Amino acid sequence: MYSVPMIRKELVAASAEPLVLALLANGESYGYAIIQEVKARSDGKLQWTDGMLYPVLHRMEHRGLIKSRWGESETGRKRKYYSLKKDGKTAMAKHHEQWSLVHAVLSGLKKEQYV
């Protein structure tokens, strides 16, 4: 059976921000859960180096796309939760538009090749 190869690291890096934004649009979350969710949804094909997510999150927070608060995990340890801000929603919409466009162009070209 045909299987999608692991996604290249450039694409992983480029898709980190839109994915995090889209994930947080479903409600607040924290680093570990975000990574697990992306892994699960991509069948493990989208693998982040786990630690790399945090600087990305911090940058997004600094740019005002997301905000964070300290909460507690079930085991009582401190845990940092992130959620979407208004600018983050706008950014998400922009990302979505651009990725959809790329996808449309790509699949349009592919279709032509089969005609």
For binding to other proteins (CB under 8 A), which residues are involved?
17, 31-32, 35, 49-52, 54-56, 58-59, 62-65, 73, 75, 77-80, 87, 90-91, 94-95, 98
Handedness of CA 9, 14, 19, 20 (dihedral sign): positive
Cα dihedral: 1, 19, 75, 52 (round 10): 90
Measured from the CB atom, the residue of 22 and 52 that comes closer to other proteins is 52
Measured from the CB atom, the residue of 19 and 31 that comes closer to other proteins is 31
Shortest distance, CB of residue 111 to other proteins, whole angstroms? 26
Estimate to the nearest angstrom the gap between the alpha carbon of 81 and the chain centroid: 15
Measured from the CB atom, the residue of 13 and 106 that comes closer to other proteins is 13
Structure tokens at 72: 């507690």
Shortest distance, CB of residue 67 to other proteins, whole angstroms? 14
- Residue 115 DSSP class: -
